Structure 1
Amino acid sequence: MSRQSVQAPKGVVMIRPRHFTPNPMTAADNSFQSNDEKGAAAAVSSAAYDEVTRMAEGLAAAGVTVHVFEDRAMTTPDSVFPNNWFSTHSGGHVAVYPMYSANRQKERRGDVIEMLKNEYRVQDIIDYSGLEKDNVFLEGTGAMVLDHIGRVAYAIRSNRTNELALERFCTHFNFEPMVFNATDRSGRPIYHTNVLMCIATDFALLGAQMIPDLRRRQEIIARLEETGRQVIELSIGEIENFAGNAIELEGREGRMLALSARAQGALNRKQISTIERSAKLLSFDVSTIELAGGSVRCMLAGIHLSRRAAPTEHLLFAAE
Structure 2
Amino acid sequence: MQHTSHLLMIQPVHFSFNAETAVNNSFQNKSDQANVQAKAREEFEQFITVLRAHDIDVTVVEDTPDPHTPDSIFPNNWISFHEDGSICLYPMFAINRRLERKPSVLTAIQQKFVIGHTNDFTSYEKDALFLEGTGSMVLDRDKKITYACLSPRTNQQVLDEYCKKMQYQGVSFVAVDEAGAPIYHTNVMMCVADDYVVICLDSIKDPNEQQLVKQSISNSGKIIIEIDFNQMNHFAGNMLQVHNTKGEKFLVMSSQAYHALTPKQVETIHSFNQIIHSDISTIETNGGGSARCMMAEIFLPLK
Scaled by the length of structure 1, what TM-score is found?
Answer: 0.91
1:66 aligned residue:
58
RMSD, aligned α-carbons:
1.1
1:207 aligned residue:
200
Match of 1:222 among 215, 222, 227: 215
* Partner amino acid, structure 2, of 1:235: D
1:149 aligned residue:
142
1:315 aligned residue:
none
2:217 corresponds to 1:192: no
Match of 1:28 among 20, 23, 31: 23
1:318 aligned residue:
none
1:44-72 deviation digits (Å, cap 9, x = unpaired): 11010111111112111211110111114
2:190 corresponds to 1:182: no
2:45 aligned residue:
53
Scaled by the length of structure 2, what TM-score is found?
Answer: 0.96
Q: How many residues align?
A: 300
* Partner amino acid, structure 1, of 2:180: G
* Partner amino acid, structure 2, of 1:59: L
2:259 corresponds to 1:265: yes
Superposed structure 1 runs of 4+ greater than 3 Å apart: none
Match of 2:273 among 279, 285, 292: 279
2:300 corresponds to 1:305: yes
Give 1:237 shift: 0.3
* Partner amino acid, structure 2, of 1:71: D
* Partner amino acid, structure 1, of 2:197: A
2:250 aligned residue:
256
SS of alignment partner, residue 125 of structure 2:
helix
Give 1:29 shift: 0.7
1:133 aligned residue:
126
Give 1:129 shift: 1.4
SS of alignment partner, residue 231 of structure 1:
strand
Give 1:183 shift: 0.5
Question: Structure 1 21/302 Cα, relative in aligned 2: closer, same or farther at 3 Å?
Answer: same
Give 1:114 shift: 2.6
Tell me how far apart the structure 1 counterparts of residues 200 and 65 of structure 2 sit (CA, whole Å). 35
**Alignment identity in percent?**
38
Tell me how far apart the structure 2 counterparts of residues 169 and 54 of structure 1 sit (CA, whole Å). 35
Tell me how far apart the structure 2 counterparts of residues 120 and 15 of structure 1 sit (CA, whole Å). 17
* Partner amino acid, structure 2, of 1:267: L
Give 1:147 shift: 0.4
Q: For the Cα contact (< 8 Å) 2:61–2:108, is it kept in 1? A: no
Give 1:116 shift: 2.7
